Amino acid sequence: MEISTSALVLLPAIAVTAPLLVRGFGRWVAIPLVVFEIALGLVLGPAVLGWLKTDDFIGLFADFGLAMLFFLAGNEIDFRAIRGRPLGRAAIGWLISLAAGIGIAALLAPDIPSAAFMGIALTSTALGAILPVLRDSGDLGTPFGIAVVALGAVGEFGPLLAISLFLSGRQPWQSALVLLGFAVVATVVIVVAARGAGRRLHRVITATLHTSGQFAVRLVMFVLLTLVALSIVLDLDMLLGAFTAGVIYRLLLTGAPEHEAEVVESKLEAVGYGLLVPVFFINTGLTFDLEALLSDPADLVLVPIALVAFLIVRGLPSVLAAPSGSDRRDRWATALFGATGLPIIVAVTAIGVDEGDLDSGTAAALVGAGLLSVLVFPLLALSIRGPRSQPGATRAPQDDVGVPSEG
């Protein structure tokens, strides 16, 4: 595998520059980090300057970054906090989104295969992008924040199931049987982890926390790659395995001393958000087909249409998950957070282009709309909702949900 020397310099240069730009622009407007990572990849990539282009090495690294992003998303979800009404309402809302997404996509797409990819892309919610916003606004542990986290959890897991069921190339009933087999294996592991199996590992984790052994980080990689490998063997989307691995690892850490758990989380974030995840978003910019988007006016017009479709397909059903007694501003804010999507949009459109069912211009339009949703919707939601002192902003008694440092 050939490795470009320019990639060895420019990839980390972009990764270092992006947080500096976030701090610089943060004086006037809070722009998510991923926006700069994708934008810098686009500018330095083949679409504009041509200084950097993707290759097998960057592509492999980006795949690991995407898997790590979904692992961290699964690891950050506290199901004890979102279970019950928030999770149930979020699941009902997502099923409505799926039906609406396929219906609207059928009107926009030239054929049924394209409609399937577009419809599933419209049902996603970018949990990794909205968690930092909730943390910074102080909403994470409130009923409002818990409802939004539930939306994000379902909005990432639901599309992954849909990809495995409908976009695997098998008959739906065959995919369902394979998915059931994966679910059985994952459930057994989750039950074992939930019953305290991880407590036997806590001593080893603590003993190697500050040594070259780094058992916790190595265990993460083992769990992550094992579940990803199982997904690949079963011909399921690898992100389903990565997300499930995150849920399992969180359960394994349950009961660990608080200080040790925080140290482990910081190490995972360092590996994920400091090394792997940025490459995925930078590569998204490198592979963004700007020429195809600009060459066809229909694709260019599709960007604002898709942005509105996110609000209709994903945003409006998300209102079902709003906490009881929410006022109009809270419901609108819930809809905007629910309509924020990007990682799954990138993954779904990439699969569609690779299989020849989605043209690159349409894929670029959907990714562009997803990027705009990450940039605009969370900020608009906070602006509409106003200060935390309004009704429904009191902190709930549940445990806090962990927060990553990047979208």
Model confidence pLDDT, tens digit, residues 337-375: 999 998 889 889 988 888 888 888 999 999 999 999 998
Burial class (CB in 10 A: 0-12, 13-18, 19+), 207: exposed
Helix 343-354 to helix 143-166 angle (10° resolution) is: 10
- Total count of residues recorded for the chain: 407
Residue with the two structure tokens 């600009």: 294
The structural domains of the chain, with segments of one domain joined by +, span 5-385
Distance of CA 353 to the CA centre of its chain: 20
- Return the number of other C-beta atoms located less than 10 Å from residue 380's C-beta: 15
Query: How many angstroms separate the CA atoms of 327 and 337, rounded?
Result: 16
Among candidates 229, 206, 220, 204, which has minimal Cα distance to 268?
220
The topology under which CATH files domain 5-385 is Na+/H+ antiporter like fold (1.20.1530)
Distances (CA, A) of 33 to 23, 25, 171, 203, 313: 10, 11, 39, 36, 26
Q: With a cut of 50, which residues of the chain have pLDDT below it?
A: 389-407
List the structure tokens of 118: 């577009």
State the pLDDT at residue 366: 94
Question: Rounded to a whole number, what is the distance in angstroms from the first to the last CA of the chain?
Answer: 30
State the pLDDT at residue 388: 55
Query: How many angstroms separate the CA atoms of 6 and 282, rounded?
Result: 14
Query: How many angstroms separate the CA atoms of 353 and 31, rounded?
Result: 29
Query: In 167-315, which residue ranges form alpha helices assigned H by DSSP?
Result: 172-192, 199-207, 215-233, 238-253, 258-271, 277-286, 290-295, 297-309
**pTM of the shown model:** 0.83
Query: How many angstroms separate the CA atoms of 151 and 331, rounded?
Result: 13
Among candidates 204, 247, 290, which has minimal Cα distance to 401?
247
State the pLDDT at residue 302: 93
Model confidence pLDDT, tens digit, residues 265-305: 889 989 998 999 999 999 999 988 888 888 889 899 999 99
**b or e along 220-234 (b: 16 or more beta carbons within 10 Å of the residue's beta carbon)?**
beebbbebbebbeeb
Query: How many angstroms separate the CA atoms of 280 and 17, rounded?
Result: 16
Burial class (CB in 10 A: 0-12, 13-18, 19+), 29: exposed
Contact at 8 Å (CB) between 133 and 127? Answer: no
Q: What is the DSSP string of 63-112?
A: HHHHHHHHHHHHHH--HHHHTTHHHHHHHHHHHHHHHHHHHHHHHHSSSH
State the pLDDT at residue 331: 94
State the pLDDT at residue 253: 78
Q: Which SS3 state, helix, strand or coil, does residue 167 take? A: coil
Query: How many angstroms separate the CA atoms of 380 and 30, rounded?
Result: 11
